[in-house]
Amino acid sequence: MPTSIVWVHGDSLSPTNPALATYPSAPAVWVWDDELLRAWRISRKRIVFIYECLLELPVEIRRGDVVTEIRAFAQEKGAQKVVTTSSPSPRFQRFCRELAQTLEVEVLPVPALVPVTPGMDLQRFSRYWKVAEKVIYR
């Protein structure tokens, strides 16, 4: 019985994403977020594009309430842990907090193009770029 599942979300649709790469044999799941699709009035072409990405990933495709579906998938697989990939989306972060009430949650970071250091000036892109251009390319 596996003890972990991988949750693939809309910011990590690569078969090489850190969660799938680190847990290659864990069952993986995608959940269409029905509430989000409705609220954002997401058009058909966006759904087709994402669906085509999913068809190249080893995921079971579900839909509904994201947290409920992930919990159900974990239970079916007998898993106590959800592994996923980081995202700045506040909605993603809320789902992670909710999942953490009943499951262990591991969020793997995506490699940063520009390492953000504490106190970095983010007021305007020009100031960010002054720091970034020194470290971004070797």
Partner 1 sequence: MSTLRRDFATREALVAYIAQEFPEATGPVSPIRGGRQAALAQLAAIQPETYGDTRNYLDGTVTRLSPYLRHGVLALTEVRDWLQQRRYSWKTAEPLVRQLAWRAYWQTLYDQWGDGIWEDREPYKTGWQPEDYANDLPGDIPDASTGLLCVDSFSRELQDTGYLHNHVRLWLAAYVVHWRRVKWQAGARWFLEHLLDGDPASNNLSWQWVASTFSHKPYYFNQDNLARYSRRRWCEACPHDGRATCPFRGSYEQLARRLFPHADLHRLGTRR
Residues that bind partner 1 (CB under 8 A): 10-17, 32, 37-38, 40-56, 60-64, 69, 85, 88-90, 93, 110-114, 116, 122, 125, 128-129, 132-133, 136-138
From the CB of 131, what's the least distance to partner 1, in Å? 10
Tokens of 131: 């720091």
Helices 66-77 & 90-99 angle (0-180, nearest 10): 40
Contact 69, 28 (CB under 8 A): no
Closest distance to partner 1 from the beta carbon of 137 (Å):
6
Cβ(7)–Cβ(57) below 8 Å:
no
Query: What pairs with residue 63 in β-bridges?
Result: 32
Q: How far is the CB of 25 from partner 1 (least distance, A)?
A: 19
User: Could you give phi then psi for residue 96, rounded to 5 degrees?
Assistant: -60, -40
At its nearest, how many Å lie between partner 1 and the CB of residue 9?
Answer: 9
